Amino acid sequence: MKKLAVILLSLVFLMGWTVSSFAQDKYPSKPVEIIVSWAAGGATDVLFRAVGAVFSKYANNQPLIVKNVPGGGAAIGYTEAMKAKGDGYGIVATATPMITKIHMSNVKFSAATFAPVIMIADNPCFLLVHKDSPYKDVRDYIAEAKKRPGQINMGNAGAGGGYHLASLAFQSFAGIKLNHIPFEGGGPSITALMGKHVDSIIVSAPEGVPQALAGDLKLLGIFGEERLAKFPNVPTAKELGLNFSISMWRGIHAPKDTPPPILNQLHDLVKKCIGDADFKKRCDELGVQIKYLNSQDYGKFMLAEDARYKELIMKEKLGERYK
């Protein structure tokens, strides 16, 4: 009788393992939703829609649905993402502004709230103005800002977000005072610049790239180590004698309680997406620089960025969290 019970228990365990394994092999079996904490048309939104365009090829014909939840400098979107189930069907786009928001404001999430899945891009920021702007490069802009403190408008994608901090860091570095105007994402800030409602913005690809290529906007300088392939005639800040650089990275996280096998499958799926020829072509069109980090390395990178921005924000006495 005992032997029979042992055999039955073994069969139940084996069947459970088989069903679990089968379920994981079939992931995803329904659409996957990714929360983007900014309005449609911004860099993070555009990038993940590019991922979504090839996602179904590698996801059992299931789509990636982008859900925009803008507001609060990304706080509203990340707070909503905290409610998602850890089943692999509710994930969140993570980016530099998430980390900056954590230390600029009092929010409910931290760098350790979600489980890292994969990094997919890292792009240098650049200073962007309207085509009719009188500034020729970053040096002209700084010189004018010093003459008129607080009078040059600098739009951003949300108070306390990545671009806001980039603008504040640039302001601190240059020794100038700008008038910062928040919008609900990078897309709306581009629209404002196109309409001359602000004088300038600091963004990263793909934001502003189509408009700049069309000649409606112009780049004054790149805050990275190298010139951008799409704009070979635009110098880096360092080439202009300004030792200032800042970039925006983007990736994917999932709820903390997501099972490791699902996290691994999601990682492998998205890695195939960013290696897809159509995705690479789209990134080239957008001026996006693909950068891959696996789950473990992305997690370490996030913690390092968390420490770096915390130190910067506290040192410069920015935001409201550490007041």
Top pLDDT among 142 and 158 is at 142
- pLDDT tens for 222-247 read 999 899 999 999 999 999 999 999 99
Mean pLDDT for all residues in the chain: 91
| Contact call for residues 201 and 189 (beta carbons, < 8 A) | yes
Taking the domains of the chain in order of start, what are their residue ranges? 31-122+248-315, 129-247
- Count how many residues are written for the chain: 323
Note the pTM of the prediction, 2 decimals. 0.79
Using the predicted structure, report yes or no on whether residue 40 has a pLDDT greater than 60. yes
The angle that helices 277-286 and 43-58 make with each other, rounded to 10 degrees, is 170
Q: Which of 9-18, 47-56, 159-168, 302-311 has the lowest mean pLDDT?
A: 9-18
Q: CATH second-level architecture of 129-247?
A: 3-Layer(aba) Sandwich (3.40)
Residue 10 has pLDDT above 80, yes or no: no
Residues contacting 200, CB < 8 A, separation 6+:
127, 128, 129, 133, 141, 152, 153, 154, 155, 193, 220
- DSSP secondary structure, 280-311, as one string: HHHHHHHT--EEEE-HHHHHHHHHHHHHHHHH
- Fold (CATH) for 31-122+248-315: D-Maltodextrin-Binding Protein; domain 2 (3.40.190)
